[in-house]
Amino acid sequence: MKLAYLLGTYPLPSETFVRKEIESLEAFGQPVVRFAARAWDSQVVDPSDIAEQGRTDYLLSGRKGRLFADALATALRHPLRSLAMLPKIWRLYRNARKTPTVFAAYALEALAFRTRTARLGLEHVHCHFSNNATAIAMLAHGLGGPTYSFTVHGPDELVDPKARSLGMKARGAAFVVAITAYCRSRILDEAPDVADKVQIIHCGIDPEDFAFDGAAPNTSRIVCVGRLCFNKGQRHIPAAVARVKDEFPDIVIDLLGGGDDEALIREEIAKHGVESQVILHGWATGAQVRETIRQSRALLLPSYAEGLPIVIMEALAIGRPVLTTRITGIPELVDAGCGWLFEPGDVDAIAEALHGVMRASSSERAAMGAEGRRRVEARHDLRKSAAQLLGDFKAAAGET
């Protein structure tokens, strides 16, 4: 089978799970051609992501002449299908009400993508997130291009699924993947008629990449990993730490990541006088993230909006409890057996969770770590998920 992945922006340091999924498919002997609308506009630091940029065919980034030439080639070969694409473009626009030029770009990219997939003889395309990439795959399929499928993560794409034309995209897809039961239920709220197409395939990690450490170190360092932005909730960490530092003066929260909220977080750190307790480190490589988690007491993720973060799986696989919010699909993996849950934006609740993990004994934290590892191995083994996906891809392409 000739398979491609099409992403909106790729690779991204916050979405390494996509690269890992592709690598797992290739480990099964299934080649994957990488496409993306554009490259990330910042510099990637992980060597694997740098290598992925070199393997990816970009539709918008790079040579615009090639984009127009490929689009024209499809329009000339398939004029009737190209005209038939216009009502779909109109429906996408009507649902989203974004700038019309956005949807003109979708049409151009779909025409060019159809030429490139035909040139390579591709049979199926998979996308992550029900965003522009899935729209392009859907439009290209209508032009006679390969079948397509997509994975829905949430939470943003489930806030207003009608604006994203989620139902329209799902009805045209060979199948749709939801990463959690919560996610599947939200898809079916919008499009109950596609229930037979929507299946749960958990995102995951390769447990062998995360050696279990049951030592439960008595360090006072806690790590928070993720893009610095409103949805991740790091802005509340300084205030929460200020509530616990008198009892635990050695507590340190290491923030790994960068983003728009960095200046605000620094202001909060100064406001609450926790310069020695909350440390910003910037973006880190995957290896650096793993080592920092290993040297930490626990993972803290005070998010407002998530699907089911991969970093939670990574921390649990290593054997570290998790302090995070009671939102979307997170409670399907994390509960009192392997961590602490609290409501997003509740500084007192974050402080209470910090008190809990700092007071917990080594044996209590070791038991949580062991339970977390067990759950990841049972539910979030990337190799199992990739094997299931591969079977679905082959079925969509008509292979047995």
The CATH number of whichever domain residue 145 belongs to comes to 3.40.50.2000
Give the mean pLDDT of 291-314. Answer: 95
- Do 189 and 50 reside in the same domain of the chain? yes
pLDDT for residue 384 is more than 90: yes
pLDDT exceeding 70 applies to what percent of the chain?
100
pLDDT in tens, 97-144: 888 889 999 999 999 999 999 999 999 999 999 999 999 999 999 999
Q: What pLDDT is attached to residue 168?
A: 97
- Full domain range(s) for residue 125: 3-204+381-396
Q: What is the DSSP string of 125-170?
A: EEEESSSHHHHHHHHHHHTT--EEEEEE--SHHHHSTTTTTHHHHH
Q: Are residues 38 and 28 in the same domain?
A: yes
**196 and 224 co-located in one domain:** no
Q: Are 6 and 113 in contact (CB under 8 A)?
A: yes
Is it true that the peptide bond before 155 is cis, omega within 30 degrees of 0? yes
Note whether 119 and 240 are same-domain residues: no
Domain check: are 8 and 45 in the same one?
yes
Residues 184 and 317 in one domain: no
Q: What's the pLDDT score for residue 43?
A: 84
pLDDT over 90 percentage in the chain? 90
Binned at pLDDT 50, 70 and 90, residue 26 comes out as very high
Q: What is the pLDDT of residue 400?
A: 62
pLDDT digits (tens, 9 = 90+) for 215-264: 999 999 999 999 999 999 999 999 999 999 999 999 999 999 999 999 99
Please report where in the chains the tokens 């009400």 appear, as a residue: 97
Residue 259 φ/ψ, nearest 5 degrees = 160, -175
User: Could you tell me if 226 and 257 are in contact, meaning their C-beta atoms sit under 8 angstroms apart?
Assistant: yes
What pLDDT, on the 0 to 100 scale, is given for residue 231? 94
For residue 62, is pLDDT > 80? Answer: no
pLDDT class for 154, splitting at 50, 70, 90? confident
Q: Tell me how crowded residue 101 is: count the other CB atoms within 10 A of its CB.
A: 8
pLDDT greater than 80 at residue 363: yes
pLDDT of residue 97: 81
pLDDT at 321: 98
Residue 63's pLDDT band (boundaries 50, 70, 90)? confident
Q: Measuring CA to CA, how many Å separate 123 from each of 384, 396, 398?
A: 23, 9, 9
- Given this model, what pLDDT does residue 155 score? 85
Position 100 scores a pLDDT of 85
When pLDDT is averaged across residues 381-388 and rounded to a whole number, the result is 95
233 and 356 part of one domain: yes
What three-state secondary structure class fits 58? strand
How confident is the prediction for the chain on average, in pLDDT?
Answer: 95
Q: Are residues 218 and 343 in the same domain?
A: yes
Q: How many domains does the chain have?
A: 2
Phi, psi of 34 (to 5 degrees): -95, 130
CA distance 258 to 344: 20
Q: How confident is the model at residue 46 (pLDDT cuts 50, 70, 90)?
A: confident
**266 plus 123 within the same structural domain:** no
Tens digits of residue pLDDT in 159-218: 899 999 999 999 999 999 999 999 999 999 999 999 999 999 999 999 999 999 999 999
- Indicate whether 166 and 261 sit together in one domain: no
Identify whether residues 182 and 241 lie together within a single domain: no
Same domain (yes/no): 9, 26: yes
